[in-house]
Amino acid sequence: MDPASLEKVLSAHPETKVVIPVHYAGLPCNMPAIKALADKVGASVIEDAAHALGAVYPTGEKVGSCVYSLMTVFSFHPVKAIAAGEGGMITTNDPAVYRELLRLRSHGINKLDDTFQVPEQAFTNGKQNLWYYEMQELGYHYRITDIQAGLALSQFKKLDAFIARRRELVKRYDAAFKDSPTIRPAQSSNDRRLSGHHLYVIRVDFTKAKYTRTELMQELRKREIGTQVHYIPVPAQPCYRKMGFRPEDYPNANAFYAEALSIPLYYSLTNKQQDTVITALKELLA
């Protein structure tokens, strides 16, 4: 999210209630600038940090500390830094929001510390009825399972090692593609050391390449190298087109989408395997 573009949007839409920056591929957005702009119009900030577990702001705080937001949302999907099978985590420093989240995740029920609203049903002779609970608002079944939570907690102990290895792999990719005329990293920020490095995305000008993106992915697959595109721009999806959004109104997203290709990046990727990926890309895109 570009703060300069955000400022223009908020100036045109001061009624905006929520600003949701996405820490794409694990690199944090410019949160101090985004928070300052949101505050001007009274909008809340919710960080989408699904890619950024373990990432750090330039100011030194960990992503998820919520120093620049009301909430930060993480993902424990199988391909994320911590894999719990599914589920996720929300962090906040706001006690009221915390209790609201507890209710929303479990059918509107929070058994921990909500004050009972119908005390005549909650107590008998001044003592709390052991079976009693209250559904104080309409909630949902958003609970992560105990087994998944246990797995996630065990994975947290390994997070520093996971991130350290990903950073090593990123440095090797950066060095390999440094002088390439056809391959450039999607994120060239000097603050890459702050990233959670969920993805390594390269940009390729396929109008000048020997292969189309589909053909390149097929050629890499023949060499047992898996790749992916992250992501198709949201306004291009049928659901959002029906709402009136037009992909052509988002030229930056479209330009990025036309060139993006995610290449292998994961903790157990060996140097030898990575060298195979690098060699294949250089040969195919020469």
For residue 216, CA distances in Å to 110, 179, 211, 233, 285 come to 51, 20, 6, 21, 9
Beta strands 18-19 and 44-48, pairing class: parallel
Task: Please state the φ and ψ torsions of residue 3, each to the nearest 5 degrees.
Answer: -55, -35
Helix residue ranges per DSSP H, the chain? 3-12, 31-41, 95-105, 119-122, 146-156, 159-177, 213-222, 238-242, 251-259, 271-284
For residue 86, CA distances in Å to 19, 144, 186, 243 come to 25, 8, 27, 29
For residue 146, CA distances in Å to 85, 183, 216, 249, 267 come to 12, 44, 42, 44, 25
Task: Please state the φ and ψ torsions of residue 274, each to the nearest 5 degrees.
Answer: -65, -40
Report the alpha-carbon angle 159-220-188, nearest 5.
50
Q: Catalytic positions, please?
A: 80
Which among 14, 7, 16 is positioned nearest to 34, based on CA atoms?
7
As a whole number of angstroms, the distance between CA 236 and CA 263 comes to: 23
